[in-house]
Amino acid sequence: MTDHAHEPPWIRPGTTLRQVTDDVCGRLEGRPGRLWWGGFLLSLGMLGIGLVSIGYLFLTGIGVWGLNRTVGWAFDITNFVFWVGIGHAGTLISAILLLFRQRWRTSINRSAEAMTIIAVMCAGIFPLIHMGRPWFAYWVFPYPNTRGSLWVNFRSPLLWDVFAIGTYFTISAVFWFVGMIPDLATLRDRAKTGVRKAVYRALALGWTGSTRSWHRHETVCLLLAGLATPLVLSVHSVVSFDFATSVLPGWHATIFPPYFVAGAVFSGFGMVLTLMLVARKVMALEAYITKRHVDVMCKVLLAMGCIVALAYATELYMAWYSGNPYEQFAFRNRLFGPMGWAYGVMVLCNVLVPQALWSRRLRGNLLVVFGISLLVNVGMWFERFVIIAGSLMRDFLPSSWADYAPTLAEIGTLIGSFGLFFTLFLLFCRFVPAIAMSEVKATIAHEAHEAAPADGSPPPNAADRPGARAAEDALAGGAR
């Protein structure tokens, strides 16, 4: 925040507070455009393919997937980890960047959080449907029961997943909703028709906009941000334990928790970029999501890409240094074995392609950035696939080595998860303010203040009101 004065502003100059409200709310109040309908129907179609695939799976059995006695997980858990990873950027942006007072987050945090919640919902499907008997999925919860009080196995990483993801989803959803209350109140106040007004009234929880409300609201947001921050790190660490605590060469690695977290943030930012670039264009939000936002996110993406590259290199080094022949074979096989092409795709997309972002010119070319963000997502999907299916295919006893190829039902389920994701995201864009109006307004005010000659008077924006300031200081104190 040191050289903001020399940078272009986060919000296009001259944007008034009223204009923000009109820009954001106006789109929700009008009829959706052709582009939205087109996207929505396409997404619904994809979702339909997924529902058919899952329905067929439930009716017939896990055998409709290409798994076998050697490869027990492939697309299912790959998709799960992929979506959980996507779900990382939202909370990182809204919670950690809030604590670090990164003002640029205000334009994107709402949609990034929505993306998080939707991605975690997409992720949550897979542990459920990958079970042989999904109708007994509730057995993974430790609840008092009459079966001789059968308990769950607290040593199983799958159980840790249940808690880690459950907690993460709950906190993310609550954080998202609480942050949205002032904006929902704005929508309520603008709503004309009865149903619309009633729904938004209910959702706004009687928000009055009083100073006391604002004070409490800001405090709760900060507290939730504080709670959410460790979860960003814990969720994917726990997901990585699914693999790290196993005996399988290629899974059994102590580097996995940080490696997976970095990868998750990487893929999350990739997906945020993809969505923001589309939303910016389609919803004409250029005033709020500026090139400067994109530039900053590209830098984060590049940094994360480098961390991921370091993790890949460390993995290879450790395989060599460990002297463990199983480990060594697993990695030679990963690079040069039958799935070597997938490893190539992963390195290309996750390590080589993001290096283009060192160039300021390329960071400014939104088409290039869009392409890179898509490739990062592809690469991160392949990373999980290489780790999960690739390691299983050739483990200890050569007699059991087996290949894997996905079936139509698996591909359909993957398509369906994207369908669910985009369907929910498009609904989000239609019914919820995609830009956090109150926070953007604060940023506008802040920038107006910084652009004006410094006169020592406190900036007239909400976030800098004394109460909020105190809380923010208290929470962010450790980071200073």
Partner 1 sequence: MTHSPLRWTSLAERDAMLAAAGATSRDPGMAAPSAATAHEDHAHAHDDVRTEASSGPAALDALGSAASDVSRRTFLAAAGFSLAGVLAGCGRAPTQSAVPGSTQPEETIAGISTWYATTCGGCAAGCGLIVRCRDGRPVKIEGLPAHPISHGGVCAVGQAQLLSLYDSRRLRRPTIEGKESAWKDVDARVVGALTGVRSAGGAVRVLTGTVTSPSTLAAISGFLDAHPGGRHVVYDALSASALLDAHEAAFGARILPRFRLERATVILGLEADFLGTWISPVELTHGWRAGRTLEGVPPKLSFHAQVESALSLTGSNADRRFRVAPGQLGSFVAHLAARVAAKAATSAPAPADPSPVPVEALDDLAGRLVRARGASVVLCGSNDLDVQRLVVAVNQAIGAYGATIDLSAPSFQRAGDDAALAALIDEMEAGNVAALLVAGCNPVADAADGVRLAAALARVPTRIGLAERADETTAGLSVVLPAPHAFEAWDDAEPVAGVLCVSQPLIRPFGEPRTLRECLAAWAGKPASDPALVRATFAKDVAPRAGGTTTPERLWRQTVREGFLALRPRPSGAKAYDAVSVASASPRATAPAAGRLALVLGPTVGMLDGRHAQNPWLQELPDPITKLTWGNAASVSPATAGAANLSDGDVVRVAAAEGGVFIELPLLVQAGLADGVVAIPLGYGRLGTDRFAGVGPAWIEARPTVRKGESVGRNVSGFLRLVGGAVAYAGREVTVTRTGARDALSLSQTWGSQDLPKALAPRGHERRDAVRETTLAAFSTDPAAGNEAPHVGADLWSRDHATPGARWGMAIDLGACTGCSACVVACQSENNVPVVGKDEVRRRRDMAWLRIDRYYADVPGSPGDVDVVHQPMLCQHCENAPCETVCPVLATVHSADGLNAQVYNRCVGTRYCANNCPYKVRRFNWFDYASPDSLADLALNPDVTVRSRGVMEKCSFCVQRLHEARAEAKRAGRPLADGDARTACQQSCPAQAIVFGDLNDPKSRVAALLRDPRRYRVLEELNVRPSVGYLTKVRHRDGPAKGASHD
Query: Can residue 140 be called a binding residue for partner 1 (CB under 8 A)?
Result: yes
The site that binds partner 1 (CB under 8 A) totals a number of residues, namely: 59
Site for partner 1 in 456-475 (CB under 8 A): none
Can you list the alpha helix ranges (DSSP code H) found in 61-134?
A: 75-86, 88-91, 97-99, 105-129
Pairwise CA distance, residues 40 & 23, whole Å: 21
Among 431, 406, 438, 262, smallest CA distance to 339 is for: 406
Query: Can residue 102 be called a binding residue for partner 1 (CB under 8 A)?
Result: no
Q: How many residues does the chain have?
A: 480
Query: Can residue 66 be called a binding residue for partner 1 (CB under 8 A)?
Result: yes
CB of 420 to partner 1, least distance (A): 22
Q: Please, what sign has the CA dihedral across residues 135, 133, 116, 47?
A: negative
Query: Can residue 69 be called a binding residue for partner 1 (CB under 8 A)?
Result: yes
- Give the orientation angle of helix 437-451 with respect to helix 157-190, to 10 degrees: 70
Among 167, 120, 121, 186, smallest CA distance to 433 is for: 186
From candidates 395, 439, 447, 472, binder to partner 1 by CB under 8 A? 395
Torsion of CA 436, 104, 450, 208, to 10 degrees: 20
Query: Can residue 370 be called a binding residue for partner 1 (CB under 8 A)?
Result: no
From candidates 3, 31, 146, 150, binder to partner 1 by CB under 8 A? 150
From candidates 36, 139, 418, 431, binder to partner 1 by CB under 8 A? 139
Among 64-72, 106-114, 268-276, 342-350, the segment contacting partner 1 (CB under 8 A): 64-72
From candidates 152, 178, 227, 318, binder to partner 1 by CB under 8 A? 152
Closer CB to partner 1, 237 or 290, in the complex: 237
From candidates 333, 373, 413, 438, binder to partner 1 by CB under 8 A? 333
From candidates 24, 25, 47, 162, binder to partner 1 by CB under 8 A? 162
From candidates 242, 315, 447, 472, binder to partner 1 by CB under 8 A? 242
Among 55-63, 164-172, 219-227, 278-286, the segment contacting partner 1 (CB under 8 A): 55-63
List all residues 6 or more positions away from 273 whose beta carbon is below 8 Å from its beta carbon: 294, 297, 298, 301, 369, 370, 373
Amino acid at 330: A
Query: Can residue 247 be called a binding residue for partner 1 (CB under 8 A)?
Result: yes
Pairwise CA distance, residues 460 & 346, whole Å: 48
CB of 127 to partner 1, least distance (A): 8
Query: Can residue 70 be called a binding residue for partner 1 (CB under 8 A)?
Result: yes
Q: Which residues bind partner 1 (CB under 8 A)?
A: 56, 60-64, 66-70, 72-73, 127, 130-134, 136-137, 139-140, 150-153, 155-159, 162, 242, 245-248, 323, 325, 328-329, 332-333, 336-337, 392, 395-403, 407-409
